[in-house]
Amino acid sequence: MLKQNLVLIGNGMAGVRTLEELLKLDADRYNITVFGEEPYGNYNRIMLSPVLASEKTVDEIMLNDLQWYEDNNITLHTDKKVTKIQRKEQVVTTDCGMSVPYDRLIIATGSTPFMLPIPGANKEGVIGFRDIKDVNTMMAATKKYEHAVVIGGGLLGLEAANGLMKQGMTVSVVHLGASLMDRQLDTPAATMLRKSLEERGMNFLMEHSSAEVLGGERVTGLRFNDDTEVKADLLVMAVGIKPSIALAQSAGLHCERGLIVDDTMQTYDPKIYAVGECAQHRGIAYGLVAPLWDQAKVCANHLAEMGIARYLGTVTSTKLKVTGIDLFSAGDFVGNDNSEEIVFQDVSAGVYKKVVLENNIIKGAVMYGDTADGGWFFQMIKDEMDVSEFRDTLIFGQAAGSSDTDPLERIAAMPDDAEICGCNGVSKCTIVNEIKAKGLTTLAEVQAHTKASASCGSCTGLVESVIAFATGAELAAPKAKPVCGCTDANHEEVRQGIVNMQLTTMKAVREQFNWTNPDGCASCRPALNYYLLCAFPLTYQDDPQSRFVNERVHGNIQKDGTYSVVPRMFGGLCTAQNLRDIADISDKFKVPEMKVTGGQRIDLFGIKKEELPAIWHDLSEAGFVSGHAYAKGLRTVKTCIGKRWCRVGTQDSTGLGVKLEELTWGSWMPHKFKIAVSGCPRNCAEATIKDFGIICVDSGYELHVAGNGGITVRVTDFLCKVETEEEVIEYCAAFTQFYREDAHYLERTAPWVERIGLERVKEALETAEQRETLAERFAISQKNAQIDPWKERAKGVEALEFAPIKVSALGELV
């Protein structure tokens, strides 16, 4: 049979996937020619973010290299743009004058980034985030410039911001809405995501509307509609995409938002098909991978003239990672007047789940932090399953109500048609059958033969469990999460290695544990800096560039780019002179607003960055030190007045609070740390939701640990009861040091204690000798920790770098 000519315009994921499916059905039907505008083979656009973050290389995200085209007798023309389709003659023409005839044509031109039509948008340094060229441009900018602004708080914008931050830039994300990722997350999940990203150093300017790009030939900043501005050496627009349909329109094909196709993926011209982001089917232009793969299968079926497949649309789910945080959403997770919600939330553990039901049928779900049951929920959404019988345990996942949560038995319990890989629509039985038929044993082999886990990678753990189930192999115990994408080593391995091998510099740690990025990234540098500071408190030189911006400048950055400054008030006590000094300083610097905080301090808002050294100089001269409201360390010691004035107070809670704050202030820790002392069981200081809390009673002091306030409250665990203030102080120092030495960086005491168990904490503090040893190490660490960085360095903006200058000998335990 004489071969027909098939031309594919667009060398992207959807178009080439269509060719892959076609080759499976009928490899000899067509002479195939592919035109691509980029100088590469077919690569995974989903993985551009890891390339920007230096977690992967371009070679590693290639789906089909140049050799694949040769092996399948496909003619590939790279760096060539098709500019004309002559439908009557059935010929396509490129920008270099090349013409190629076709019998069948696939248009898979994808989409282009939407660029805001604001003045200055054409300046150098203003780009989208769509292809390898954009990544290369951003990577080059990180070598020369410092400040990046990303417009768009969706998935793409956050991934771009994360990558630029990992390359060392200071990044601000501008978002028009009030919540991040508002198409994939509801408000509580978005709030948790924003908080987590802010803790990693990402800045957000929410509900800001961009008005003008500032600068000459190159961007220098961005102005908003309210006339505020933000500095920008690089401006990335990630505000959405639009289907690339100009070529189709010029050929007279019917287009609306996208190129209109029917259920066979044909356009109004029966010889021309369209797939991917440029196509519009039943009013929808899809931007997710799973619908594109479904379209590719249908299109290939008709190109092979089998004529039995129909594309009826795709029920979509989103399972993805945003800077290491697992997210899942599917269906209608917002709900309506007729729906009900079942919600589980544990802020300390970083977990949020919501299921929306109508008449006991799941309509939608959203998950943050723990997405293991995402596929199970999605299958029930598609099947419209009635969940009445297990509604009470539904939110706790597939294993709820069963004492057996073994991963292999969970796989065994799944139905054969359970979807394992959402991106590629691969079911459990497909993977199992391929494994048994072809003797597959590795993840790479399963990816190659089934495409499962070959796109976004979020289902990799599940696919590995299916492999173990199908082959009868032992399922390896899950490895603790690595410190970051630069290394496979986890926090425990790194902390132990630093101590056991006496690794005294970040460079030595990175070399020992084979860091892929020799300079580290924004995630691992603060962690390593803390671990080294904790291990070698008297010899390690703190690295200011490995701290978040708030710690570097000793102030909390606010939504308008100014900072708030919080002087410390030990135990909440102050004098009339203290208040006069703060008032005078406020007048001098024209502070627009002051507020008494929940931590018994006064917060001064609206301070410009360049004013920080001077205002801290004046506060220091008046006897104030930083309240460390920004620190991964002690924030506050909240107290009630106790028996000094209160008629029901049992002990001097304020005096004890002052002693504890003098003991612990300035100490760097894995995360923020709060203490409270309540003078009686009425607990006015809320000691039972603090990291270390004391309840005073007539006979002594009850000690509590690992509490947490916030959206979801975790009440403390009772540690023990002691009789004297000296014992309270010793226990506080010992517990604090054990937490400092054992927890992972950015792990609060609540999830830390839940992870290791309260019994281990009690064992570590069991004897007086153990407590004394830990307390002594804490006292040593405080010799370089309790600092006033402005006392001797308030001479200019250069003073905004952290400097360990000792100004107090506080820290003695008795």
Distances (CA, A) of 360 to 211, 341, 342, 382: 47, 10, 11, 14
Q: Would you put residue 454 in left (φ > 0), alpha (ψ -120 to 50) or beta?
A: alpha
Q: Are 571 and 639 in contact, with CB atoms under 8 Å apart?
A: yes
Write the CB contacts of 111 (distance below 8 Å, at least 6 apart in sequence).
130, 241, 242, 243, 244, 277, 278, 287
If 0-12 CB within 10 Å is exposed, 13-18 middle and 19+ buried, where does residue 2 land? exposed
Cα–Cα distance for residue pair 715/703, rounded to 1 Å: 13
Ligand-binding site membership of 720 (annotated): no
The amino acid at 615 = I
Ligand-binding site membership of 684 (annotated): yes
User: CA neighbours within 13 Å on the CB side: how many for 686?
Assistant: 16
Q: Is 806 helix (H, G, I), strand (E, B) or coil?
A: strand
Extract the tokens encoding 280: 């519009």
Percentages (nearest 5) of helix, strand, coil residues in the chain: 35, 25, 40
Extract the tokens encoding 453: 């886990």
Distances (CA, A) of 289 to 59, 160, 255, 323, 544: 20, 19, 22, 19, 41
Cα–Cα distance for residue pair 228/214, rounded to 1 Å: 12
Cα–Cα distance for residue pair 62/47, rounded to 1 Å: 10
Q: Are 30 and 6 in contact, with CB atoms under 8 Å apart?
A: yes
The amino acid at 183 = R
Write the CB contacts of 577 (distance below 8 Å, at least 6 apart in sequence).
none
Ligand-binding site membership of 646 (annotated): yes
If 0-12 CB within 10 Å is exposed, 13-18 middle and 19+ buried, where does residue 509 land? buried
Q: Are 41 and 62 in contact, with CB atoms under 8 Å apart?
A: yes
CA angle 438, 441, 445 (to 5 degrees): 70
Helical pair 725-742 and 653-664, crossing angle rounded to 10 deg: 40
User: CA neighbours within 13 Å on the CB side: how many for 10?
Assistant: 26
Q: Are 637 and 669 in contact, with CB atoms under 8 Å apart?
A: no
The amino acid at 388 = S
Ligand-binding site membership of 96 (annotated): no
Specify the length of the chain in residues: 814
Cα–Cα distance for residue pair 584/591, rounded to 1 Å: 10
Q: Are 285 and 279 in contact, with CB atoms under 8 Å apart?
A: yes
Cα–Cα distance for residue pair 790/181, rounded to 1 Å: 39
Single out the residue of 418, 430, 407 nearest to residue 478, CA to CA: 407
* Residue positions forming the annotated binding site: 640, 646, 680, 684
* Residue positions forming the annotated binding site for siroheme: 684
* Residue positions forming the annotated binding site for [4Fe-4S] cluster: 640, 646, 680, 684
